[in-house]
Structure 1
Amino acid sequence: MSQQNIETVSHAADRVKLGLAVLVLLAGIVAYSVLVEEPTWVRIGAFVTGLILAALIAAFSDTGRRTLAFGREAYNETRRVIWPSRNEATRMTAIVFAFVVAMGLLLWLADKLLGWVIYGLLLGWN
């Protein structure tokens, strides 16, 4: 992965762009809420339009460009992963399932044993 340092927004223009993106996103949310009388596709269209416009505005800021670069790097990393075969995945899933069942039985046994010791022997309850 990238060794980029985390930085805050330092330029006034980037702050304005990110603030405008937030306002456009909020406008899309408000439009969805206000257009109750309209058909559903109009309401969803207003929200999606606000979402897309906010993403475009944010993408032109320095922070947006770094976020897109990070997304591209993350995508490239997932392409390099060697995924297990179906047989390996099935075998690993069976092992995990068996371990969960064994731990469940162990915890149930410990609970019953402690309950018997505390309630049966120490307190004398039946």
Structure 2
Amino acid sequence: MKANHAETPDSSSAADTFKWIVAFVLLAAAVVGNALLGGSGPNSDFTYYNLNVVARAAGAVVLVVAALGVLATTVKGKAAITFAREARMEVRKVVWPTRQETTQTTFIVLAVSIVMALALWGIDGLMVRLVALVTGV
């Protein structure tokens, strides 16, 4: 992975701050709009309109995508996108196990877990009996 440590000028940081505020407002609008446009729930007296759930969900998705689009244009957003691309390239290099290897490993883990659970259950039972014997309870 590449390390990018370039300093940004002050005008860029002011623009980024504005973009973060816009994204926050969009996300807040999604949350508040969903609450105000819903017609059921414990706070149904608080709602102004009763909008269809699908329409509310679509509106929230549009606002969240718009907020992510705004954030993608910031310095940190661009860095996150670059990181995601590089991580995707690294995942392509991974040699994944076959179905048979996965199944065998799963059964081994299951068997060891059962054996350990039984061993701990037995040790716990012995310890309870020993404490009861020593304390006379």
Q: Structure 2-normalised TM-score?
A: 0.82
Q: Give the length in aligned residue pairs.
A: 121
Equivalent of 1:64 in 67, 71, 77? 77
Aligned to 1:13: 15
2:62 maps to 1:49:
yes
**Residues 114 and 3 of structure 1: is their aligned pair in 2 closer, same or farther, counting only changes over 3 Å?**
farther
Aligned to 2:24: 22
Q: Structure 1-normalised TM-score?
A: 0.89
For 1:116 and 1:3, locate their aligned partners in 2 and report how far apart those are by CA, in whole Å. Answer: 60
Identity of aligned residues (%): 33
1:1-126 matched pairs, under 5 angstroms: 1-4=1-4, 11-36=13-38, 37-119=50-132, 121-125=133-137
CA deviation after TM superposition for structure 1 residue 2, in Å: 3.9
Aligned partner of 1:13: which letter?
A
Q: SS at the partner of 2:96?
A: coil
Which segments of 5 or more consecutive residues in structure 2 lack a partner in the other structure?
A: 39-49
For 1:123 and 1:111, locate their aligned partners in 2 and report how far apart those are by CA, in whole Å. Answer: 16
Runs (4 or more) in structure 1 with deviation over 6 Å come to none
